Amino acid sequence: MKRVEWDEDRMRDTRLNELLSVVFKELFASLLFKIRSYAPCAICGVKTRTSVASETMIEVVLIGMVLLEK
């Protein structure tokens, strides 16, 4: 889960897209870092949930399942 503060008045639509892109990449990189000791494995059922936590905060959740290969 990652929470990001943003200011709607200062952001254009393209800037918000860039911000969300960075957040999703950071979350996925964090997931890969956390499961590095399980390699080789498969990541299945990756889902994201985005919500507005407050007027100035967006919350992004990344959920997935890791299956060990044997």
The pLDDT tens digits of the residues spanning 42-51 come to 999 999 999 9
The answer for residues whose C-beta is within 8 angstroms of residue 13's C-beta and 6 or more apart is: none
**What's the whole-model pTM score?**
0.76
Q: Are strands 41-54 and 57-68 parallel, antiparallel or unpaired?
A: antiparallel
| 3-state percent breakdown (helix, strand, coil) of the chain, nearest 5 | 35, 45, 20
pLDDT digit string (tens) for 5-35? Answer: 877 776 666 677 888 899 999 999 999 999 9
**CB neighbours of residue 23 within 10 Å:** 19
